[in-house]
Amino acid sequence: MSKEGKGIILIASGNRGKVREIKEILGFPEVKLLDLNQISFRGKIEESGLTFEENALIKGEAIYREYRIPVLAEDSGLVVPSLHGLPGIYSARFAGEGAGDDQNIRLLLSKMEGYPDELREAWFYCAVVFYYDPGRYFIASGTVYGRIAREPMGDQGFGYDPVFYLPEYGKTMAQLSPQIKNRISHRAKALSSIKDLIREHLKGSK
């Protein structure tokens, strides 16, 4: 790792919601966490993988090659078994390239119109990669289970949070406080699994 890269991790995302959550979950006060917006990255990374893990690795490797600084990359999405696993890896662009959260949610709800509760089961899945040297990385994943609500509820979070209902809380993910979400979410579980490995690597690279 270059001398300039010590104490810096690039978050391979420009999604402000994801970046905010990653920074809050990781903490790491001794490390400077930069995202793609902060470094004015304008490139296009082709997410051509067939799984969340493959896409996270593609992003991590691409950003590392560009900057030669350790990269934290993730790919996550919503999986609905009754829709044959969709939106899945296409979650961010379910309603088409450039689609916003509202458009994706509307399409999802329209496809599930009339589905009974037992067919509305779903889960959020997150794969996280910490890419720190050429061909060397840590990888982890996390899952949170729930079901698809019949209408959006709540104004916290982003993405499909307003329609992802958690029966044990009686709320959608978007109705939870950030503190609770950042403890139970798929992203929190994946990052918690890899957090100590990242910390140990950073200690060893000083």
3-class SS string, 84-127: CCCEHHHHHHCCCCCCCHHHHHHHHHHHCCCCCHHHCEEEEEEE
The verdict on whether 35 is a catalytic residue reads no
Q: Which domains does the chain have, with CATH numbers?
A: 3-204 (3.90.950.10)
Q: Residue 206 — pLDDT band, cuts 50, 70, 90?
A: low
Give the predicted TM-score (pTM) of the model. 0.91
Average pLDDT over residues 142-166: 96
Of the residues 75, 101, 102, 133, only one is catalytic, namely 75
Confidence of residue 2 (pLDDT cuts 50, 70, 90): very low
Q: Give the confidence band of 191 by pLDDT, cuts at 50, 70, 90.
A: very high
CA–CA separation, 73 vs 52, rounded Å?
A: 11
Question: What local confidence, expressed as pLDDT, does residue 3 receive?
Answer: 38
Q: Which residue has the higher pLDDT, 204 or 123?
A: 123
Average pLDDT over every residue of 178-200: 92
